[in-house]
Structure 1
Amino acid sequence: MIHDLLGHILTVFLGYFAIMNPVANTAVFIGLTADETAQKKKKIARKSLLIAFCVITTFALLGNAIFHLFGITLPALRVTGGILVFLIGYHMLNGERSKMHKPRGEDKADEEDADVAVSPLAVPILAGPGTIATTINFSSTGGWSESLITVAMFALLCVVTYFFFVSGEKIVRYLGRGGINIVTRLMGLILAVIGVQMLIEGVAGAIAAS
């Protein structure tokens, strides 16, 4: 019994680790926050992970009910998320910050920080369609115990990811401005490809369900 429980806990954690990939997301975080101070980076990291945790917790506890209530299908979520991720990756690939999280005016620094934390970091990078699908898959296999294990493992991964994000400052100093520009474009390419992959999976899922 205990062995099966530990095996399930490990499976959930490794599943989240693979789908969220804190190592790769650290490079994305560096590219998106290259112009920010260390204090602002910590603020953005905390806010994005907190939002992602709230989103995943909601879907872990009420995911199936939410989808049923609004008539949302997973393929539709993947298509929408794929388009959003692709657009963000496209802007990064061109060395720009997406207008979705770049408000006009220099007096909106706090709003800009909040926007970066919400999109694209929290959603859809950290709590994207793949993470939500994984959450619903893990939490819907049993009762409340599976849901609590799912939430606990995602919380643990959020803590791990936060330390990855915070240590990214050392990587920034090592790479320099030119290195960050390269990382930004490479991560933009990766995000664009991920977005296309999400879109393909969403269309394929919609066709299969029809």
Structure 2
Amino acid sequence: MSDIFGQVINVLLGFFAIMNPVANTAVFIGMTADETAAKKREIARKALLIAFCIVAAFALLGNVIFHMFGITLPALRVTGGILVFLIGTHMLNGERSKMHKGRGQDYEEDEDNDIAISPLAVPILAGPGTIATAINFSSSSGWVDTVITIAMFAVLCVVTFFFFVSGEKVVNYLGKGGVNIVTRLMGLILAVIGVQMLIEGVFGAIAANKMG
């Protein structure tokens, strides 16, 4: 029993460190500053549900999925890094990226869904690091580890949702000018995260080729 409890704590802390709900809340605030409270809840709910499904799938069938589609973790890091960097540079300039701009009222629903799917769900919430962490935890020693991994990520998703919802109070406190500052700062952080993911992906690919 103590071993299982230790594994639960280890997995929960591991996911918390790699996913960082506090930092992601600041990013969420910056990306959804123009949305209503109800729309923010909807975006948060959808993004976290998608992230959970992705991580659960990789926890169950991670190695199979990678081999089936010929995907490597370095390739996932490079792609995610480029995407996050582009989003970050737009936010840094005080703009919303093209994926956030509607061309008209009829496109508003699709654009909001895009935010939930990318970049929130992938690669910010369910990024290469989170996926790799899930695979590592779930492949240790059987189905118990897989169940613990999925359950702890579900707990973290619930915690993150409440962080995102509480972010509305922060927005009201900061005001429009404060949110603009937060948006630019989070854009800088996202751009740096994107570059870091890109670097890790490139070095991972080089190391893999040397081993091959």
TM-score scaled to structure 1, two decimals? 0.97
Structure 2 match to 1:106: 105
1:139-178 alpha-carbon deviations (Å, 9 max, x no partner): 1112111111110000000000000000111100100000
Letter aligned with residue 182 of structure 1: I
Letter aligned with residue 61 of structure 1: L
Distance 2:101 2:127 in 1: 20
Deviating beyond 6 angstroms after TM superposition, the runs of 4 or more aligned structure 1 residues are none
Structure 1 match to 2:159: 160
1:29 Cα deviation after fit: 0.6
Structure 2 match to 1:27: 26
**Percent of aligned pairs sharing the same letter:** 78
Distance 1:75 1:112 in 2: 29
Secondary structure, counterpart of 2:13 in structure 1: helix
Structure 2 match to 1:129: 128
Q: Which stretches in structure 2 are left out of the alignment for 5+ residues?
A: none
Report if the CA contact (8 A) 1:88-1:191 is conserved. yes
Distance 1:99 1:132 in 2: 27
Distance 1:162 1:97 in 2: 23
Is 1:151 matched with 2:129?
no
Structure 2 match to 1:7: 6
Secondary structure, counterpart of 1:104 in structure 2: coil
Distance 1:113 1:70 in 2: 29
TM-score scaled to structure 2, two decimals? 0.96
Letter aligned with residue 154 of structure 1: F
1:48 Cα deviation after fit: 0.6
Distance 1:68 1:51 in 2: 22
Distance 1:141 1:180 in 2: 43
1:91-149 alpha-carbon deviations (Å, 9 max, x no partner): 11111111134342122221122111111111111001111111111111121111111
Structure 2 match to 1:192: 191
Instruction: Map 1:52-67 onto structure 2 (within 5 A).
Output: 52-67=51-66
Distance 1:156 1:139 in 2: 16
Is 1:182 matched with 2:173?
no
1:8-59 alpha-carbon deviations (Å, 9 max, x no partner): 1101000100111000111111111101111111111111100100111111
1:179 Cα deviation after fit: 0.5
Secondary structure, counterpart of 1:50 in structure 2: helix
Letter aligned with residue 202 of structure 2: V
Secondary structure, counterpart of 1:107 in structure 2: helix
Report if the CA contact (8 A) 1:56-1:135 is conserved. yes
Letter aligned with residue 118 of structure 2: S
Distance 2:2 2:100 in 1: 45
Structure 2 match to 1:173: 172
Distance 2:27 2:83 in 1: 15
Report if the CA contact (8 A) 1:32-1:184 is conserved. yes
Distance 2:47 2:170 in 1: 20
Structure 2 match to 1:93: 92
Letter aligned with residue 5 of structure 2: L
Distance 2:141 2:83 in 1: 32
Q: Which stretches in structure 1 are left out of the alignment for 5+ residues?
A: none
Q: Which range moves more in the overlay, 169-178 or 108-117?
A: 108-117
